[in-house]
Each structure stands twice: as C-alpha cells, then as structure tokens.
Amino acid sequence: MQGEKPRGCTWRSICVTGATSQLATFLLPRLIESGIAVHAFSRNPPVTSTAGVDWYTVDIGSGAGLPVIRAEGLLHLAPIWLLPPRIGDFAALGVGRIVAFSSTSRFTKIHSRYAGERRLAEKLAQAETRFAKECDRYGIGWTVLRPTLIYGGGNDLNVTRIASFVRRFGFFPVAGPANGLRQPVHAADLAAACLAALDSPAALQHGYNLSGGEALTYRNMVAVIFRAQGRTPRIIQLPLFVWRLAAYLSRMSGSGAAINMGMVHRMNEDLVFDNAEARRDLGYAPRAFWP
C-alpha cells in the first residue's frame, strides 16, 4: 500500500488544509522544524508570508481545481465532510497518506434533543465512512483523529469564549450544577498526535478519540478559567427557564451570538472518552487543563 511507511521515516512534502485553524498554529511550526515542505491551503491565506510554507488560496469545499504541486501526505484540519469528494484530486498530487480530523461530536450529539445537532453527528459519521472508503479506493493510508473540545489557540468557541465573558462581566452563568464531565484538549497535544499518526503503522486505516489529559466538571473547567486569569471564580447557577428566555432574546436580537440550548443542556452531561488506544499507538500524552 502507498500509505505504509516505516516509523521515523521523514516526509518531504505535506499538504495542510484548514491551515489557518487554531490547530494549524501549533502544527505548521512543527512541520517546518522537521524540514518538511508545507503546502498550506486556505480560503483566506495570511497576507504576510511564513518561512517554509507555500500558501495557496483554495476553497476545499468548492469543486475548484487544486494547485499543480507534488505532495506525499495530507493533514486535513478543515471540516471532514469537505474531504471525501477531493480524495481523487489529492491522489493525483501524489498523496499516499492522509490524517484527517473529525470530532467526538459524532458520538455526543447523535442523541441530542436538537435536530441540527443530530444532523451534525450524522454528517460527521457519514463523512468518516466515505473518507475511509475513498482512501481505500485510491490505495491511500488513512487515519481519523477525533478531538474533544479544543483550546490553546486563543480563538476557540469554548474556552476562549468563556474567558472573554469572564473578563468582561466578572462572573459566569451555568445551568443547574453544571456537573457534566469535560476533557478539554490542547491544540499542541493534537498537533503532536497528528505527526505521530503520520509515522505510525498502527494508525493506518484506524480512528482515534483524542480527549484531553484531565476530566473535570463543566463547573470546574469554568473555575480553572477564572483562576488562570488570576480571578476568584464567581459562577452563577441559572434555572433552565432563564436560559430559554435568554436564548430567545439573543435570537431575536440577531446579534449573531445566539445562545445554543443544546450546549446549555450538555453542561450537565458527561462528554468523556478513553484515549488509551492513542496513548498506545501514538505515544499520545495530553496535558492537564490549564488555559
């Protein structure tokens, strides 16, 4: 198979999609340090150039052609459902190994009370299946990585959003006891796992759940975010009807920051995943939570 490469083998050229993501912030420097030529794809590449990176303006979600380059592998950090229709295009560039990011939401949102969330879970599951099938068709070695909630890049919609709310208002509202367990995972630990997957024969044609190094309740996660900013936690428990009213008002205001009731309910649901397989095959060693 094209994708089989011995552990420790060096890669000469790698494509990265979603190259402006928070994950890429940690991944690109590691690829550059390893002396790998990086072809970075983005709909909006940075204006300033990055040493060691060739940027290409590509909307991977459109049918637009890919640039005429040669690459051995692809690290796909953009939404996974964009990838299956493009596998043939990447194979034509010489790509024989792909590591793609999905999400543990494919499991956690499948029984959501909200149809939109269930659709997202199904979309992720179907995309993983199609991705594997297309790669097998083209003889490409594949790996799927499914993180829990990612933080570390300073622009995520969970930890960073909580932190900015805390800075602005000095308190944080939760629903009920907010005792659902979370395992936030640092983007730098995911970057390390991604590189390890690229070189691991055990990771070929396999998927891994990549949870963080510590499980803590949603309430404790918020408390840690307060402490990381040198503040004493001020966490206020609001009843569900207040959340519903706030969600309604935020939708009506059209501010674009509508409160997601699915997320509110999940504050009391456990979203934890065993990462033993990734520890074994990828030497995955995620850190404890500290934003």
Ligand X SMILES: NC(=O)c1ccc[n+]([C@@H]2O[C@H](COP(=O)([O-])OP(=O)(O)OC[C@H]3O[C@@H](n4cnc5c(N)ncnc54)[C@H](OP(=O)(O)O)[C@@H]3O)[C@@H](O)[C@H]2O)c1
CB contact set of 88 (below 8 Å; sequence gap of 6+): 134, 138
Question: In this chain, which stretch among 20-28, 107-115, 127-135, 171-179 interacts with ligand X, using CB under 6 A?
Answer: 20-28
Q: Which one, 114 or 238, has the nearer CB to ligand X?
A: 114
Rounded to the nearest whole angstrom, what is the least distance from the CB of residue 232 to ligand X in the complex? Answer: 27
- Residue-wise burial string across 189-205, b where 16 or more C-beta atoms lie within 10 A, e elsewhere: bbbbbbbbbbbbeebbe
CB contact set of 190 (below 8 Å; sequence gap of 6+): 23, 26, 27, 101, 145, 147, 150, 210
Rounded to the nearest whole angstrom, what is the least distance from the CB of residue 179 to ligand X in the complex? Answer: 21
Any contact of residue 60 with ligand X (CB under 6 A)? Answer: yes
Q: Which one, 109 or 219, has the nearer CB to ligand X?
A: 109
Q: Which of 96, 141, 147, 173 binds ligand X (CB under 6 A)?
A: 147
Which two structure tokens, joined as six digits, stand for 46? Answer: 């940075």
DSSP 183-249: --EEHHHHHHHHHHHHH-GGGTTEEEEE--S--EEHHHHHHHHHHHTT----EEEE-HHHHHHHHHH
Which two structure tokens, joined as six digits, stand for 247? Answer: 């969600």
Question: In this chain, which stretch among 71-79, 136-144, 172-180, 229-237 interacts with ligand X, using CB under 6 A?
Answer: 71-79
Q: Which of 36, 140, 150, 198 binds ligand X (CB under 6 A)?
A: 150
Q: Which of 5, 11, 28, 42 binds ligand X (CB under 6 A)?
A: 42
Q: Which of 6, 44, 113, 255 binds ligand X (CB under 6 A)?
A: 44
Q: Which residues bind ligand X (CB under 6 A)?
A: 18, 20-23, 42-44, 60-61, 77-80, 82, 101, 103, 147, 149-150, 156, 158
